[in-house]
Structure 1
Amino acid sequence: MSSIQSSKQSANRFESTLGGITVNGQAHSLSAWFVLALRLVFGYAFLSSGLDKVLASGWTAQGYLAGVAATNGNPLEGMFAWMADTSWFVSFVDVAVPFGELLIGLGLIVGLLVRLAAFWGAFIMTMFYFGNWSIEHGIVNSDFAYVIVFLAIAAFGAGRIIGLDRYVETYEFADGQTLLEKYPRLDYILG
């Protein structure tokens, strides 16, 4: 049997129903490597960005919040203006963004709490999408693409591919139950 036939036989099937519409497909067995690559590349990008901000002396989101959204016709201009004018919120963002990016990146790289990390990555990129509002070339831009990739990383359970989530999920208690059997809702943050 050729390796191509072997790959096709070991392909991954997936199916989902949402709003009464069912979609299904079959992924090539090499897909796991590409999902892993997405997780690691986006993990590195966020870890690097967060580390740059944490190590930068005096980094603040104040200028971004005040300037960018107000100058480009952003539909959330008022919200960004409020964020920029609210000192406690700017102080919160000055900590949450750099350390959030750092933790998201680290989680993706080691494959721990990947769904949680991907959710927050998608949230941050959604905020950047509106903060960097620009639709002269259409509504899809790199920030929007990041949101979709983070959601795909979460959906594919990328933390189970050479990641710590795989081991955390299968941890067995004294009664023989795995962590996910005992606490099935952890599947929303692990994987």
Structure 2
Amino acid sequence: MVELREAKYGKEVYVEENPLSRWLFSNTKSAWIWLILRIYIGYTWVTSGFGKVTNDAWTGSNAGVALEGYMTGVMSLAEEGGVAGWYAWFLESFVIPNATVVSYMVAWGELLVGLGLIVGFLTGIAAFFGALMNISFLLAGTVSSNPVMLLIAMLLVLAWKVAGWYGVDRWALPKLGTPWRIKRE
């Protein structure tokens, strides 16, 4: 069904959402699916992040050493054409010179994204930053579980309204509201 509404600058057209996507992304009865996916990728991020946060080469006195070693491998892939030129430039110009800071960002980012997903707090935001890290790892040539995690993260971003229903979001989102919510007095 297509619904026309009068708008300030003409007519807006609203196309009805199909029943499956409406159920998946807006119905709390689908929340159990998102809970399983959240726990899966949340656990993956927590274990990876915890391993880095407790590793001296990522966040200790030698912070940045592990990242620099990883970047050396990525840059050799770039020379062979395995990494996009613009991404290699970004790594060479920003990431490698700031390896210590980026190392902390990666380690703590993985841990915090994982915790956010597991407890279901700001699930859509946590999933977005998880997807951003997955894209970064994929651009650097690391395939591993990143494509699967990226797909799940993108779905969680779409399902942000109900993905954290079995979690803190059930209470946090109504209290925090949404940026586009019209406050009625």
Same fold (TM over 0.5): yes
Q: Distance in 2 between matches of 1:36 and 1:100?
A: 21
Matches within 5 A, 1:119-158: 119-132=128-141, 142-157=145-160, 158=162
Matched letter for residue 162 of structure 1? Y
Matches within 5 A, 1:99-138: 99-132=108-141
Aligned-pair CA distance for 1:116: 1.0
On the 8 A contact 2:110/2:130 being kept in 1, the answer is yes
Q: 1:40 and 1:128, CA in 2 relative to 1: closer, same or farther beyond 3 A?
A: same
Question: 1:31-81: per-residue Cα shift (whole Å, max 9, x none)?
Answer: 432211000111111011000001112133112122135325234245335
1:79 and 2:73 correspond: no
Q: 1:82 and 1:162, CA in 2 relative to 1: closer, same or farther beyond 3 A?
A: closer
Q: Distance in 2 between matches of 1:149 and 1:69?
A: 28
Matches within 5 A, 1:49-64: 49-59=48-58, 60-64=66-70
On the 8 A contact 1:112/1:159 being kept in 2, the answer is no
Q: 1:23 and 1:148, CA in 2 relative to 1: closer, same or farther beyond 3 A?
A: farther
Matches within 5 A, 1:175-186: 179-180=176-177, 184-185=178-179
| Secondary structure class of the residue paired with 1:161 | coil
Q: 1:153 and 1:117, CA in 2 relative to 1: closer, same or farther beyond 3 A?
A: same
Q: Distance in 2 between matches of 1:110 and 1:35?
A: 12
Task: List alignment gaps of at least 5 residues for structure 2.
Answer: 1-13, 59-65
RMSD, aligned α-carbons: 2.9
Task: List alignment gaps of at least 5 residues for structure 1.
Answer: 1-19, 135-140, 172-178
1:12 is matched with which residue? none
On the 8 A contact 1:83/1:90 being kept in 2, the answer is no
1:14 is matched with which residue? none
Which residue of 161, 171, 175 corresponds with 1:167? 171
| Secondary structure class of the residue paired with 2:81 | coil
Q: Which has the higher contact order (CA 8 A, sep 6+)?
A: 2
Which residue of 7, 21, 25 corresponds with 2:19? 25
Aligned-pair CA distance for 1:127: 0.7
Comparing 156-165 with 68-77, which one deviates more in the overlay? Answer: 68-77
Q: Distance in 1 between matches of 2:111 and 2:159?
A: 22
Structure 1 length normalisation: TM-score? 0.67
